[in-house]
Amino acid sequence: MSSLGRLTRHAEARLERLRAAGQHRVLRPTHRATDARASRAGRDLISFCDNDYLSLSCDPRLIHAACEAARHYGVGAGASRLITGDCPLNSVLEQRLAAMKGMEACLVFGSGYLANIGTIPALVGRNDTILLDEFSHSCMHAGARLSGAEIRVFRHNDVSHAAELMQEATGQILLLTETVFSMDGDLAPLEELAALCERHDAWLMSDDAHGLGIMEKPNPALIQMGTLSKAAGAYGGYVCAPAPVIDMLVSRARSLVYTTGLPAPILAAAITALDIMHAEPQRAAQAKANAALFCQLLDLPPPDSVIVPVIVGEEARAMTISAALEAEGYLVTAIRPPTVPEGTSRLRVTFASGHSEEDVRRLSKALSAVMAA
């Protein structure tokens, strides 16, 4: 058999296993629009599944900023920021993010995933220890593995368990967690974790991908990363830290050194998004109010953020409910293993400033009817 034949058979065998396990994914073309609207296969839908929490990704102001930047700087970045020269908009965005986070300095990456897999291995290595919340995002796990450090996973948000694991840790200790957990919407006990790290001369690094612009409160983490693709409505990632750390990352973060920089239109859109976040705090307030109303209507516990998980349990049932909601005009994605633990398949319902109160009430009514069927 030829190499092509073996490769094809290998892929087909893996696909068959994925289908048998109910874990085969497909890409579905979807046109997103303003105010949390979308269309798919010719049908108009209301999206309750994306991370555009402030409804900025289709905002005319971001679009205008991106178009103007394209006219002035072009579309592509050309190469790595260290090779082609740094687009001036990078430093503007970095200064704004550092000020917003109350940190000395900031470095913008091509994505949040790239920020984590570049920063973590630059901070610690083989003789060090990483403590990692079990529910931390995949890119934190990936960055930890790339570092070569010993990895110790503590139970979700369990400070006592983290303290136990820290007792026998060797070398420099780096503790990784999220500020808002992407699948459950709950918050990390940052103050307690920071105090633990201080007692053991460890460094706390937080992933604020789902908190930026929404859950703004003091963050004691020494290293704070996040993304510009969610509430900011654009794309990219960033790391805020003491200035010497950022200076070191410019030379040592491989996912910055060896990756093409963000295009100027994206940088300009992100800068504009930060302006809007500052000028229009009611957007975040509306998104949080929508989440609270949804939980009230369905008799769920009050939400910690704008992410509300509706635990279903079985994968097949979660998929069935998601499909039924789409038939009713709502995009609500079913999340299943391996993204979440076995037996906890769920609907991940996200709320945005673009949702009206009527949108939320209608969704809750539709979901109640579908789950009771």
Catalytic site positions: 51, 137, 178, 182, 207, 210, 230
- Using the 8-state DSSP alphabet, how is residue 300 labeled? P
To the nearest 5 percent, what fractions of the chain are helix, strand and coil? 45, 20, 35
The H helix count followed by the E strand count for the chain is 14, 14
What is d(CA 79, CA 82) in angstroms, rounded to the nearest whole number?
Answer: 8
How large is the greatest C-alpha to C-alpha distance in the chain, in angstroms? Answer: 64
Burial class from Cβ neighbours inside 10 Å (0-12, 13-18, 19+) for residue 4 reads exposed
Report which of 228, 227, 211, 221 is spatially closest to residue 245, judged by C-alpha positions: 221
Distant-in-sequence, close-in-space partners of 54: CB < 8 Å, separation ≥ 6: 213, 214, 231, 232, 233, 273, 276, 277, 283, 284, 287, 352, 353
What is d(CA 123, CA 234) in angstroms, rounded to the nearest whole number?
Answer: 27
What is d(CA 295, CA 280) in angstroms, rounded to the nearest whole number?
Answer: 25
In three-state secondary structure terms, 180 is: strand
Which single residue is written with the structure tokens 């949040």?
112
What is d(CA 195, CA 183) in angstroms, rounded to the nearest whole number?
Answer: 26
